Amino acid sequence: MAAKKFVELNVEVRAKAGKGAARATRREGLVPGVVYGGKSEPVMIAIDPRLIMRELHGSWRSQLYQIVVDGKKTSVALMRAVQLHPVTDRPLHVDFQRMVAGQQIRVEIPVHFVGEDECPGIKRDGVLNTVYHSVEINCDVDHIPEAFTADISGLDLHDTISWSQLQGTENVTHTNQHEEDFVIATIAAPTVAVEVEDEAAEAEEAASEEKASEE
C-alpha cells in the first residue's frame, strides 16, 4: 500500500463476542468494536471512547487508521460505522474495515470550501448554499483523497460550483447515478433583496389589478 498519512489507534483485543461481552466492555469504560474484511477473520476489539469522539470531529469517513495492539501495528482500516447512544451521544460500538493494496472501495469524502473572503457574491451579502457537504466515490485504496476542495473565490450571486470544478478528484469516480456533473454549491442572493423584490412585485400586481378595475 502506498505511503499515506495514518492515524494510529491503540486498541485491546476482546476474547469474546456477543451482547454480554459488549456490555462488559462498556462497564470497563471502553467501546466494543470489530475489525473485519481483508480476507481475514474478524477481530473483536475494545477502544477508548475518547479516541472515537476525537475522530468524529474530523474527516473520519475518509481517514485511514493504523490499528495498534499492544504496541504492535496491525491492520490498516477505515472506520465504517459508529453507533451512538440516542440520548448521550456516547459511542456504543465501532466497525473498522481492513484495507489491502489495490482494493476498490466506496467511501464518502468531505468537501472543503475556500476563497470565501474573495468571493464577489458573498461580498454582496450573498450566502453560500451548500448542496453537498461530502461526495460518495469509488476509488483505489491507495488513492483515497483526504478532502475535495471547492474554490468559490470567483463566484458571484447565483453562480454555482459543480463536481467537475472540484480539486482533488483525480483517480476517483463519483457514485451519483442521476447526474454526470452535479452542483455542489451555489451563491444565493441575500434574503433581504429577495424580500424587497417580492414586495415590489406584489405592489406592481396590486396596482395593475386596481387599474383594471377602474377601466
pLDDT one digit per residue (tens) for the chain, 215 residues: 544 578 999 999 988 788 898 999 999 999 999 999 988 899 999 999 999 999 998 889 899 999 999 889 999 999 999 999 999 999 999 999 999 988 899 999 999 999 999 999 999 999 999 999 999 999 999 899 989 999 999 999 999 999 999 999 999 999 999 999 999 999 999 876 445 555 556 656 665 655 555 55
pLDDT at 191: 75
Same fold, 7-101 and 105-194: no
Extents of the domains making up the chain: 7-101, 105-194
pLDDT at 208: 62
Side-chain half-sphere exposure of 198, counting CA atoms within 13 A: 7
Q: Is the pTM value of this prediction over 0.85?
A: no
Fold of 7-101: Ribosomal Protein L25; Chain P (2.40.240)
pLDDT attached to residue 3: 45
CB count in 10 Å sphere of residue 131? 13
CATH classification for the domain delimited by 105-194, as one of 2.170.120.20, 3.90.1150.10, 3.40.50.360, 3.30.9.10: 2.170.120.20
Position 215 scores a pLDDT of: 53
Q: Are 33 and 61 in contact (CB under 8 A)?
A: no
Which three cell numbers, joined as nine digits, stand for 194? 429577495
Give the Cα separation of 23 and 38 in Å (integer). 27
In the block, residue with C-alpha cell 495492539: 69
CA–CA separation, 166 and 183 (whole Å): 10
pLDDT value, residue 53: 95
- List strand residue ranges (DSSP E) for the chain, in order: 7-13, 31-36, 43-47, 64-69, 72-84, 91-98, 104-114, 127-130, 134-140, 148-151, 160-162, 172-174, 183-188
State residue 137's pLDDT score: 97
